């Protein structure tokens, strides 16, 4: 973003074309006494005399460059975009081994995790149809299997989040498990300190000291967790119910989505053995009810997209934002160029184009 700090200085540019005329009106010609001027009539005009207009052009160019420098051109870079009426949302995705089971979406079978990634990307970006995108929202992502990890902190740069999501893989065997409670607790903690983190990040980007004790001067309208899992909580230190109560205390709403829910299988001796139902729907409903959210079950990608559409309608965003811009002054090169042209004019007038008397 290129702009001028003091554009009114540019009004002086209208005076520049008048400068040669004023100089011509004030010019006083020098003279010498000579017995018979007719003798010099046929001498003609030398190349140096014909090129003396270069000095006038250099002076005008110098003035032009100085006027632009006085207007202070500068380059601005938008460094943060804080939505004051938006939604802060953590998308919490299960990546345990069972998410590798097949799931149908758009006429073909993929793994549950791949369908979740694809539909989540449509939810964030928008698909030009039923999903409008989450422009203006602050989005983050937590993934979990046996352990919960922050995949992406809360950001407004949604392509960054989608990039991390696309790289997410199923958990290795030694990391397999389903720590729903830990994942919810981590996501809730991220949302609980969202305003303070935004304030501190903005201060750092502007080159200011971040005051950890300062109270943010804005409040995020709504804080939401969207949990997607196909399993039963069987790992971690926090119980999902305790995490839900903590989220409720902090004013965070949790939407839970059960993925699949058909028969769970384990591979033994090369055979897939049924292991009973893999989805704890009672728990997911309890978590949603505790925090004022909703529970939905997605048996295929289309159903999952419909659930995201419902969340999209319930968590609308009114975009009112504050934008911080970091400016880099650009007047220096203009001023240096003006001085260089002026130096050329002075040196040329005293040497090549020197005039006597």
Cα-flanking dihedrals φ and ψ of residue 102, to 5°? Answer: -75, 145
Q: What's the CA gap between 5 and 325, in Å, rounded?
A: 13
Report angle CA 285, 171, 267 to the nearest 5 degrees. Answer: 85
Q: Give burial (CB, 10 Å; 0-12/13-18/19+) of 271.
A: exposed
Q: Specify the 3-state DSSP secondary structure of 33.
A: coil
Give the pLDDT of residue 25: 63
Helix ranges (H only) for 100-139 are 112-125
Distance of CA 349 to the CA centre of its chain: 53
Q: Which of 63, 152, 46, 122 is nearest to 306 (CA)?
A: 122
Q: What's the CA gap between 357 and 345, in Å, rounded?
A: 18
Residues listed for the chain: 357
Comparing 200 with 95, which gets the higher pLDDT?
A: 95
Q: How far is residue 146 from each of residues 172, 232, 246, 288, measured CA to CA in Å?
A: 10, 12, 21, 22
Q: Taking the CB of residue 113, how many other CB atoms lie within 10 A of it?
A: 26
What's the mean pLDDT when you consider all of the chain? 81
Q: What's the CA gap between 152 and 143, in Å, rounded?
A: 9
14 secondary structure, DSSP code: G
Q: Taking the CB of residue 121, how many other CB atoms lie within 10 A of it?
A: 19
The answer to whether residue 13 scores a pLDDT higher than 70 is yes
pLDDT tens profile 177-197 = 999 999 999 999 999 988 877
Q: What's the CA gap between 257 and 284, in Å, rounded?
A: 8
pTM of the full structure: 0.62
Q: What's the CA gap between 191 and 89, in Å, rounded?
A: 8
pLDDT band at 36, cuts 50/70/90?
low
Give the pLDDT of residue 164: 92
Give the pLDDT of residue 85: 58
Under CATH, to which class is 79-324 assigned? Answer: alpha beta
Q: Of 13-17, 156-160, 234-238, 345-349, where does the model show the most confidence?
A: 234-238
Joined together, the tokens standing for residue 246 give 């903590």
Q: Where are the domains of the chain?
A: 47-73+330-357, 79-324
Contact 252, 191 (CB under 8 A): yes
Q: Give burial (CB, 10 Å; 0-12/13-18/19+) of 180.
A: buried
Share of the chain above pLDDT 70, in %: 73
Show Cβ contacts of residue 55 under 8 Å, excluding neighbours closer than 6 positions: 345, 348, 349, 353
pLDDT band at 345, cuts 50/70/90?
confident
Cα-flanking dihedrals φ and ψ of residue 342, to 5°? Answer: -65, -40
Contact 279, 231 (CB under 8 A): yes
Joined together, the tokens standing for residue 338 give 């003006």
């Amino acid at each position: 973003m290129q702009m001028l700090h003091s554009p009114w200085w540019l009004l002086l540019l209208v005076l520049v074309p008048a400068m040669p005329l004023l100089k011509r009106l004030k010019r006083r010609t020098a003279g010498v006494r000579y017995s018979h001027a007719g003798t010099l009539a046929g001498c003609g005009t030398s190349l140096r005399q014909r090129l003396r207009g270069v000095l006038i052009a250099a002076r005008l160019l110098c003035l032009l460059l100085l006027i632009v420098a006085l207007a202070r051109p500068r380059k601005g870079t938008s460094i943060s975009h804080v939505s004051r009426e938006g939604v802060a949302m953590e998308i919490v995705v299960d990546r345990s081994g069972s998410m590798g089971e097949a799931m149908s979406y758009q006429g073909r079978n993929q793994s549950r995790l791949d369908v979740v990634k694809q539909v989540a990307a449509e939810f964030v970006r928008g698909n030009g149809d039923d999903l409008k995108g989450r422009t203006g929202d602050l989005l983050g992502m937590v993934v979990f299997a046996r352990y919960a990890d922050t995949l992406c902190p809360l950001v407004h740069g949604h392509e960054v989040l989608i990039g991390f999501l696309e790289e997410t893989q199923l958990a290795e065997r030694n990391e397999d498990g389903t720590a729903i409670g830990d994942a919810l607790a981590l996501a809730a903690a991220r949302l609980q300190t969202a305003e303070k983190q935004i304030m501190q990040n903005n201060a750092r980007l502007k080159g200011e000291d971040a005051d950890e004790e300062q109270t943010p001067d804005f409040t995020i309208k709504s804080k939401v967790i969207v949990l997607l899992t196909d399993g039963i909580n069987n790992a971690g230190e926090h119980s999902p119910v305790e995490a839900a109560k903590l989220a409720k205390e902090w004013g965070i709403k949790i939407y839970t989505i059960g993925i699949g829910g058909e028969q769970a299988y384990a591979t033994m001796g090369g055979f897939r053995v049924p292991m009973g139902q893999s989805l704890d729907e009672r728990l997911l409903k309890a978590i949603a009810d505790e925090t004022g959210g909703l529970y939905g079950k997605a048996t295929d990608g289309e159903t999952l997209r419909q659930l995201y559409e419902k969340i999209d309608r319930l968590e609308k965003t009114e975009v009112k934002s504050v934008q911080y811009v970091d400016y880099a002054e650009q007047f220096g090169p203009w001023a240096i160029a003006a001085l260089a042209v002026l130096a050329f004019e002075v040196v040329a007038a005293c040497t090549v184009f020197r005039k006597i008397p």
